[in-house]
Each structure stands twice: as C-alpha cells, then as structure tokens.
A and B are shown apart, each in its own frame.
Chain A
Amino acid sequence: MGFLHDIGKYILMISSMFTRPENLSMYAKETMRQVYQIGIGSVLIIAIVSTFVGAVTAVQFSYQLLDIGLIPMWWMGIIVRDSLILEMAPTICALLLAGKVGSNIASELGSMRVTEQIDALEIMGVNTTAYLIGPKIMGGLIIVPFLIVMAVALGIIGGGVAGVLGDFFSIADYIRGLQDGHEAFYIVIMLIKCYVFAFIITSIACYQGFYVKGGALEIGNASTRAVVNSSIVIIIANFLIAFLLL
C-alpha cells in the first residue's frame, strides 16, 4: 500500500512540474547551477573509479581468457571497450552518482522543507515542484552523459595502462582492438542508459527530499532512502534495458 501511494505521489510530483515557468531565465540559471554542482562535484570520483574499473576489466579478462589461449591478444581492446560502454561505465557511474548526487539533492531539498524555505517559495507564488525539481532533473540529464562518456574514455586508458604494465598485451594490439568494428548501436544503448539513470537518480532524490516531514533527523533518513531506492531502480532498469534492447 505504502509503495503504491509513493508511486502515485511520485507521478503527481513529476506531472505537476510541467507548467509554464514564472521566469525562464531564473529556471535556466538554476539549471546551470545544478549542472555545475553535479558535474564538478562528481568528476573526480568518477574519474578515479572508472580508470580502475577499466584497469581491472583488462587484467581480469586477460588473466582468464588469454592464458588459456582462447582468443587472440588484440581482442582485449574490443572486450574492454565494449564492456565499458555497455555495462561498466553507465552502471557503476550511475550507482556512484546515486550515492553522491542523490544524497546531496535529497538533503538539500529536505532541509529546505524542514526550515520552511519551500513554504516560503510557495507563498511567493512560485510553482515549487517546477522550480526546485525541474532544474535538478534537467541538470542531471545534461551533465550525466558527459560524465559517463568521460568514464568510458578513462576506463579504456586505465585498461590499456594496466594491461601493458602487467605484460598481458602490447599497446599496438590493444589499440588495434579498440579500432576494430565500432558498433554504433552500443553507443545508443549507453546513451539510453545515461538518460534513464540520470532521470532515476535525480527524480527519486527530489521525491525523497521534497516530501520530508518532521525534523532534521528525517533529512538523513530521506537521503538514505534516496540512495537505496534509486540504486535498486537503476539495477532493475539496467536489466530491463539490456533485456529489451539487446
């Protein structure tokens, strides 16, 4: 029951956002602020994590596949590239962002709710869902794809460095693999994941933060819920996208 109630309220929240903005430039400014906050706030952690994820992918696959001589060396480039594009970069980044950005958004909105800042906006005649939630979702949709593309690039570099340092393959082989047979469809899937995950992370966090009731303690609970719920939904959505599109 509680679950259905939440879904209904969530859908109402999303649909109440679609009104004419009171002042377009204020909304644009707020969106840019969100792009900056989400982007700058997450770029470092995503860079570090994706580099190592790429490295571990290269090392792990090399160890398991090259040793037994099942595949030619230059295939490692393809394997690292495609697994980063299809699965590793979008999913791992999305989970990281759910933790970082999701908790941030939920606690920001939660404290605005608790300290009546949202009520103050309401009294002024501002459409609070549109002004507070719209720019956050929009900002996420704008910047998350960039972060994930960056993650793919750094993952590929990390994979190459680790493979070469570990003497699993030569740099020439790796690059040959990277250049082999681009599958444009994989990029499309990656982008679909980017947008879906960005929407999930920001909208669930907004929902949890926006409807906080009670005091400061509730803000912490809300941001925990934001992270847990959006992580679960991301994993399910990830499966559905793979299941339906691949």
Chain B
Amino acid sequence: MIEVRNIKKRFGTQEILMGISTQFQKGKCNLIIGSSGAGKTVFLKCLVGLFNPEDGDILYDNRPIGSMGVKEKKKLRNEMGMLFQGNALFDSLTVEQNVRFPLDMFSEMSMEEKTERVNFCLSRVNLENANDKYPGEISGGMMKRVGIARAIVMNPKYLFCDEPNSGLDPKTALVIDELIKEITIEYNITTVINTHDMNSVMGIGDKVTFLHQGYKHWEGSKEQVMEESENKELYEFIFASDFLKKLREAALQNK
C-alpha cells in the first residue's frame, strides 16, 4: 500500500500540486485522471521520488520516503517498476538488453536464467520475435510493451504507469490495459496509472482519483464515476465527448 500525505509541489512560482492526500491499495489498479497539464506526471514523479515535494510525505507500506537513507531508497527502488510517458527505453540497447538491464545490474542470476526471465516477460506482454531489434526500429505500441516488460522484470511490488496507452489504437490500448490489470492481480502489485482515457477508467479503474487545478477534486470507483453528476469539473472532464454524453443519456432514460 502507498499512502500519500498532503504533498505539495511547485516549479518557481507555478504551483502544480497544492496538497494531495490519498491511498493506493495492493492488488488494485489505482488511476489518476485529469486533463492535460493537470499535474499527473508531476504527481507520479513525486510519488517515485524523482521530484522532491516541498511538503508532505509518501509512505510505502509504512516506510516514509522522505526520511529514507540512500541504502533504503535503493532497496525501495528495486521494488519499483515504472513505465514512462515517453517509454524511456535505452536506445543504445536492443529490446532484449533493455528488459534484461535491471537483472544485469541487480540480480545474481546466471545468463540462462536471465534470458529465460526476459523471454517470459516479453511473452507476457505478447511481444515475441523482436528481441534483437532496437527501440528505434519498433512501433510505439511495441515500445510501450517493452517498457512494461522492463518494469515488471524484477517482480516489482509497486508499478507506476504514465499514460500506458496514449498514442495507441483502441484495440492495442485495451490489450495493454488488460495486461496491466492481470499483472497487478496476479502478483498482488500496488499499481498507479496516469491516464486521460475514459476507456481505461471504465475498464480497469478500481480506484479513480481526479486531479484538477492542483487539488484532488474527486475520488471513487469506476462505477461511481459514471453516476457522478454533482461534481461539475469531473462531469465535464469525463463527458467531454458527445459519444459518452449520449451513452449516459441513453442509460439514464432506460432506468
């Protein structure tokens, strides 16, 4: 479980996060939604310690990250996996080397064991026969999958995904979402996902947190999201598309 306590983050005079508290449960897909520029990426980077929040703390299973020493932080990092918004694959390494990198760096496995693990993770994300390609030679969807494979190769306890399905076609996006959900349940991972894709919200949103203008504006499950009409900003965010609006009207009429 990850507990976020009142974190604040600003860049210069621009306040991005103005005190956010929430909790992310184990074995659940926790979604952060919000419009572009709402601060989702900044929030996620604060969570994993890439940005230092000015205030507040983050507890990983009751271990506060703010007061951790270098060693403890390193240990915690070994329990994390992260998929970046821009994938952040190492472009001088092949797909296989990318996924194997954390193992090379941190595990005591033999070469065969490592290769086996890498191939397992790659098959887990439905990516076979691309082992020797470089990131520059594969499609965006494949890159996302390599990123996920690399994030899960060390069996993380915490998984962070920044817009795992942006820029993908609806079908592939669905596959990626399902994949993350399966992995989360299978290995009992605490998963936090940034997204502004409503399909993801409806598909895998065990818990949905809505960021708006630096605050946590709303929080609930995917079922509650659809019924929400009190919260104007959330409503406008979710039903931005006419298609969803009509769907909702139809659903309400049928009731």
Contacts and interface: CB of A to CB of B under 8 A. Distances in A.
A23 B108 CA distance: 10
Interface in B67-125: 70, 73-78, 80-82, 84-86, 88-91, 101-102, 104-106
Contact of B106 (A117, A120, A123, A124): A124
B78 A23 contact: no
A183 B48 CA distance: 58
B190 to A, nearest CB: 15
B50 interface: yes
A122 interface: yes
Contact of A119 (B50, B70, B75, B102): B50
A115 interface: yes
Nearest to B154: A124
A126 B86 CA distance: 20
A242 to B, nearest CB: 39
Interface in B50-69: 50
A214 interface: no
Contacts of B74: 125
Given A123-B50, A124-B77, A125-B78, A115 B105 contact: no
Nearest to A21: B105
A123 B105 contact: no
Contacts of B77: 122-125
Interface in B144-193: 154
Contacts of A122: 50, 77
B86 A115 contact: yes
A180 interface: no
Size class of the B contact interface (CB-based, 8 Å): 20 to 34
B86 A116 contact: yes
A48 interface: no
A167 interface: no
B40 to A, nearest CB: 15
A172 interface: no
A6 interface: no
A188 interface: no
Contacts of B91: 115, 117
A115 B85 CA distance: 10
14 contacts: A19-B70, A23-B106, A26-B104, A115-B88, A115-B91, A117-B90, A117-B91, A119-B50, A120-B82, A124-B102, A125-B75, A125-B78, A125-B80, A125-B106
Given A117-B89, A124-B105, 6 more contacts: A23-B106, A26-B104, A116-B84, A123-B50, A125-B77, A126-B105
Query: What 8 A-B pairs are tightest by C-beta distance, nearest first?
Result: A125-B77, A116-B88, A120-B88, A125-B74, A123-B82, A125-B78, A116-B84, A124-B102
Interface of A: 19, 22-23, 26, 112, 115-117, 119-120, 122-126
